[in-house]
């Protein structure tokens, strides 16, 4: 029953059943293992880690259990500890491709790029069609494939026996390899093929996002915020950076995390988890309860939700600093909720030229959560919905969100740094201007780009692909298509 619940995404039910399994038979390890997985899927990382420790204690030499624990450590920012564990596992199982891949991810997070490259290369040598290993090299952004690697990727991608997931990863990696060689036609063909395969699996429905934005605009009104004035948790700790992926949010995070009072965490799922809880369980034909039910919440309930957010994010705060960053881009869809439960939190909208941002999204293969990104027309429509909702927040919550244009940061870094720090109530520190000198773990695709001084490398890249970008241009102009 728990396995069925997990497959259907009913994680709350699955957790309840697995906890009952543990109660009835604490020695039944498969159920305990699955409980860790479900807790992780529900973003209960502290509890998941505790359960994983118990499972590992039962079988200390079980490499699968050690891998489970190491993955959780990496998830909560204990990167050095996770790295040591991956290395131990690899020494005992040198042919495990997944261990080599994840070891590379840990090295990348720490900025140890040569080690990451070696780990990824080791992974694809173990499995020649291991698309994720090639894509991980491409996703370093600074890596350049050799001619032999390009031939190997093209050969594996063309084989009928290559699994779809590997083929998708290989297509995106090939796109990057061809783009680095200025073969833009071949690069776009590979990106397009990878995106088409990914979209055919996901079946993204753009109407669902438009519907959600419509409901946020309808229910998160000036009257709602006036009625709830003074509610919420008073904590000033969080700084939310929202927007679209590939819009420069990692750069803003690196700038802020270079401040002595601010800790960078990662893209935290906690606000979206709260929104999901407010929506509750519903039948397919039922209307969403959230955000309409925000008006029904009492001041005590709103404060409780804010306090719940503060408690659940604590596992990611390792440095004891007074402020921390939540860089989940999709939180732009929940700014009304954030305002109600955390009225003193700061919110920054990372904005970038729509063509630059849109095409950069199209070139990126995301691990999860950005289903709109695999069609040029879908990207353009999503961008329009995003701007429409941000305009609404500016109307009903004037001055609440600071918009930071990526191009302005490139043109006048210090002025924008001062503006950002002022919005966050932080004193100016030169380290924020010298952000590229800050050494910290970074778990997003732009990690290596923000470890370099400010530059224009990503500006105007879309122009090299302009002959194929009409669907994006049309969608941004209001003409929808796939």
* Residue keyed to tokens 């957790």: 15
pLDDT of residue 8: 84
What 3-state DSSP class applies to 120?
Answer: helix
Q: Which of 227, 225, 256, 424 is nearest to 338 (CA)?
A: 225
pLDDT of residue 451: 62
Residue 366, pLDDT > 70, answer yes
Q: Kindly report the average pLDDT of the chain as a whole number.
A: 93
pLDDT of residue 226: 96
The residue-averaged pLDDT of 225-240 equals: 97
pLDDT of residue 443: 58
pLDDT of residue 371: 94
pLDDT of residue 284: 61
**Can you state the angle between helices 131-138 and 113-126, rounded to 10 degrees?**
160
Q: What's the CA gap between 472 and 455, in Å, rounded?
A: 25
Q: Tens digit of pLDDT for each residue in 320-332?
A: 999 999 999 999 9
Better-predicted residue by pLDDT, 32 or 285: 32
User: Does the 206-476 domain belong in CATH 3.40.50.300?
Assistant: yes
**Can you state the angle between helices 45-58 and 63-75, rounded to 10 degrees?**
160
Query: What predicted TM-score, i.e. pTM, was given to this entire model?
Result: 0.90
Q: Tens digit of pLDDT for each residue in 256-282?
A: 999 999 999 989 999 999 999 999 876
Tokens of 111: 């900025």
Residue 441, pLDDT > 70, answer no
Looking at the DSSP bridge assignments, the partners of residue 264 are 325
The residue-averaged pLDDT of 67-94 equals: 91
The residue-averaged pLDDT of 341-363 equals: 97
3-class SS shares of the chain: helix, strand, coil, % to 5: 65, 5, 30
The residue-averaged pLDDT of 213-221 equals: 97
Q: Tens digit of pLDDT for each residue in 97-150?
A: 999 999 999 999 888 999 999 999 999 999 999 999 999 999 999 999 999 999
pLDDT of residue 136: 96
Residue 447, pLDDT > 60, answer no
Residue 482, pLDDT > 80, answer no
Residue 80, pLDDT > 70, answer yes
């Amino acid at each position: 029953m728990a396995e069925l619940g997990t497959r259907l995404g009913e994680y709350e039910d699955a957790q309840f059943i697995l906890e009952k399994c543990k109660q009835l038979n604490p020695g039944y390890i498969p159920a305990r293992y699955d409980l860790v997985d479900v807790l992780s899927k529900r973003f209960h990382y502290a509890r998941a880690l505790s359960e994983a420790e118990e499972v590992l204690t039962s079988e200390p030499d079980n490499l699968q259990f050690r891998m489970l624990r190491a993955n959780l450590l990496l998830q909560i920012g204990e990167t050095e500890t996770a790295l040591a564990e991956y290395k131990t596992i690899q020494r005992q199982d040198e042919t495990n491709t997944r261990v080599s891949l994840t070891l590379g991810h840990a090295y990348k997070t720490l900025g140890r790029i040569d080690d990451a490259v070696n780990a990824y290369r080791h992974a694809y040598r173990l499995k020649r069609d291991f698309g994720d290993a090639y894509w991980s090299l491409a996703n370093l952004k600074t890596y350049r494939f050799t001619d032999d690697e390009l031939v190997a990727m093209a050969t594996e991608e063309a084989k009928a026996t290559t699994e779809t997931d590997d083929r998708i990863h290989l297509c995106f990696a090939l796109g990057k390899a061809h783009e680095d060689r200025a073969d833009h036609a071949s690069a776009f063909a590979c990106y397009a093929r990878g995106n088409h395969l990914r979209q055919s699996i996901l079946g993204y429905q753009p109407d669902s996002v438009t519907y959600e934005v419509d409901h946020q605009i309808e229910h998160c009104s000036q009257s709602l915020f006036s009625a709830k004035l003074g509610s919420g948790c008073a904590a000033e700790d969080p700084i939310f950076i929202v927007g679209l992926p590939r819009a420069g949010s990692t750069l803003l995070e690196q700038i802020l995390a270079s401040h002595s009072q601010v800790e960078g965490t990662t893209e935290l799922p906690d606000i979206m988890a709260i929104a999901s809880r407010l929506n509750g369980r519903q039948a397919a034909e039922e209307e969403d309860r959230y955000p309409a039910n925000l008006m029904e919440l009492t001041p005590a309930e709103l404060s409780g939700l804010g306090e719940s957010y503060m408690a659940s994010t604590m596992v990611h705060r390792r440095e004891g600093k007074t402020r921390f960053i939540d860089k989940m881009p999709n939180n732009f869809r929940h700014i009304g909720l954030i305002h109600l439960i955390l009225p003193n939190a700061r919110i920054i909208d990372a904005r970038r030229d729509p063509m630059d941002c849109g095409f950069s999204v199209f070139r990126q293969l995301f691990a999860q959560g950005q289903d709109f990104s695999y069609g040029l027309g879908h990207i353009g429509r999503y961008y329009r919905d995003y701007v429409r909702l941000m305009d609404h927040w500016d109307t009903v919550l004037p001055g609440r969100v600071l918009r930071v244009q990526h191009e302005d940061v490139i043109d006048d870094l210090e002025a924008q740094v001062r503006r950002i720090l002022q919005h966050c109530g932080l004193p100016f520190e030169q380290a924020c201007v010298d952000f590229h000198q800050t050494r910290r773990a970074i778990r997003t695709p732009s990690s290596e780009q923000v470890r370099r001084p400010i530059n224009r490398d990503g500006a105007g890249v879309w122009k090299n692909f302009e002959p194929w970008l009409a669907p994006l241009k049309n969608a941004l102009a209001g003409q929808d298509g796939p």
